[in-house]
Amino acid sequence: MITNKINTLDFCYKNSMVRIVANRNCPEIKLAGLTVGPFDEGNEYEVYFWVAKELASAGMVHFREDDVLDVTKLFKMQWKEGVQIPGQISELPGDFYPKLRRFLRDLKDQATQTQQSEKFHEYDRVKHLARDIANSRLKKIIALAAAPGQGGQVLKKLTNEEKLVYDQLVKIIAEWKNKILETGADI
């Protein structure tokens, strides 16, 4: 069930609008029911993510630097998450997990294609950072779910993927508590 919901969120991300910068002048491009461009070199444009990905792979555009996930940003996120006081969680961009999945996939593809040991090392380092961030946040989400109603402001900082986990945990924990504390005659 969570897999389907995450896939739906990923589909929404693929169809969200992103900012790109044109690498060169390009004429208007007509696709089935969609027109993109024309693009003037150096100018920013907003297009669907899936269109941007295709244009970037053709070398026509690139994503804005502040919209691209990289190792430095992950280190900062890891540090920021680690310095939060207990019961607090740092705010991540709403599209963090879709970007993270794509970043990891791209690094893995680069390592596999080039067979360079430094690319495999970078992929492993990023995977470790990603797991550390996810595990740290998951521990906090579990604590929040065990005591629902106490983290209104904190819950606003969760991404959609994290809210899925939180909502499921709240249900599971409530059901467990009710069953454990049940005082029915058939016990």
Domains of the chain: 2-67 (3.40.5.50), 71-180 (1.20.58.2050)
Rounded Cα distance between 77 and 84, Å, is 11
Q: What is the mean pLDDT of residues 19-37?
A: 90
Rounded Cα distance between 52 and 167, Å, is 33
Q: What are residue 151's phi and psi, to 5 degrees?
A: -130, 40
Report the chain's mean pLDDT, rounded to a whole number. 89
Q: How confident is the model at residue 151 (pLDDT cuts 50, 70, 90)?
A: low
Which amino acid, one-letter code, is at 61? V
Q: How confident is the model at residue 128 (pLDDT cuts 50, 70, 90)?
A: very high
Q: What are residue 58's phi and psi, to 5 degrees?
A: -85, 0
Is a pLDDT exceeding 60 seen at residue 23?
Answer: yes
Is a pLDDT exceeding 90 seen at residue 131?
Answer: yes
Is a pLDDT exceeding 80 seen at residue 150?
Answer: no
* pLDDT value at residue 115: 85
pTM above 0.85, yes or no: no
Is a pLDDT exceeding 90 seen at residue 65?
Answer: no
Residues 43/45/51/52 CA torsion (nearest 10 deg)? 60
Is a pLDDT exceeding 70 seen at residue 186?
Answer: no
* pLDDT value at residue 41: 93
Is a pLDDT exceeding 90 seen at residue 82?
Answer: no
